[in-house]
Amino acid sequence: MANQWSAVLFDLDGVLCFTDEYHYLAWKRVTDELGIPFDRAVNNRLRGLSRMDSLDIILEQAGRAFTRDEKEALAARKNDIYRGCLAAMSPADLSGDVRETLDALRARGYRLAVGSSSKNAPFILERLGLGGFFDAVADGNLVARSKPDPEVFLKAAELLGEQPERSLLVEDAVAGAEAAHRGGMRVACVGDAAAREAGDYNMASVRELLEIL
């Protein structure tokens, strides 16, 4: 019997690839330069949030206010460091589980899209050898509001021409799972969000999608 979904929306960082470690390293370098405390617990709160929303959380520990220009400069510095890490990525950074799951879902006829807060999403997809693979890409360049607002996922569904309720989201961030629910979607989680049981499905690997779909 056919299930209720015709499209699968994938978060990028933490689901299709593990750029989350590069985000951590880049923010760590910037905060060390400023003398602001930053650790993996704070980094975990940044999953799925936009660059500027992430910086606002990081600066909670700073003990002073920053001007808009200072914040823009810090975000640009972090992005330069982060882009330096991304430049070393290649299709070898795409796991076999992810590649085989994407290919199997495509063979089953699902429409596939990316829904990511990252403004670097097109570059990352190119580095992974996935440029042009997806039927639609909604990313931080197309939306004004960061997860947990559902805007990026509603945009992905719109670009596909699919109803949100016929789209299953795959996420690693609690903020992303909340965004899916606010947008009327169901969500299959991996990683941090799965550990916190934030999903309608909580998976050890994206490969488990092949049992859900």
Task: Catalogue the long-range contacts made by 103-112 (C-beta closer than 8 Å, 24 or more residues apart).
Answer: 104/210, 105/8, 105/209, 105/210, 105/213, 108/213, 110/5, 110/6, 110/7, 110/8, 110/213, 111/6, 111/7, 111/8, 111/135, 111/136, 111/160, 111/162, 112/7, 112/8, 112/10
Binding test (CB under 6 A) with ligand B16, winner from 48, 150, 164, 199 = 48
DSSP string, 23-63: HHHHHHHHHHHHT----HHHHHTTTT--HHHHHHHHGGGSS
CB under 5 to 8 A by kind: which of ligand B16, Mg ion, none does 178 bind?
none
Binding status of residue 59 toward ligand B16 by CB under 6 A: no
Minimum distance from residue 1 beta carbon to Mg ion (Å): 31
Min separation Cβ 163 and ligand B16, Å: 22
11 is catalytic: yes
Q: According to the binding rule CB under 6 A, does residue 47 interact with ligand B16?
A: yes
Q: Residue 79 Cβ, how far from ligand B16 at the closest point, in Å?
A: 6
* Whether 13 is catalytic: yes
Closest CA to 144 of 180, 111, 117: 117
Residue nearest to Mg ion as judged by C-beta position: 14
Judged by CB under 5 A, the chain residues 166 through 185 that form the site for Mg ion are: 172-173
Binding span for ligand B16 by CB under 6 A among 12-20, 105-113, 129-137, 201-209? 12-20
- Residues forming contacts to Mg ion in the complex (CB under 5 A) are 11, 13-14, 48, 172-173
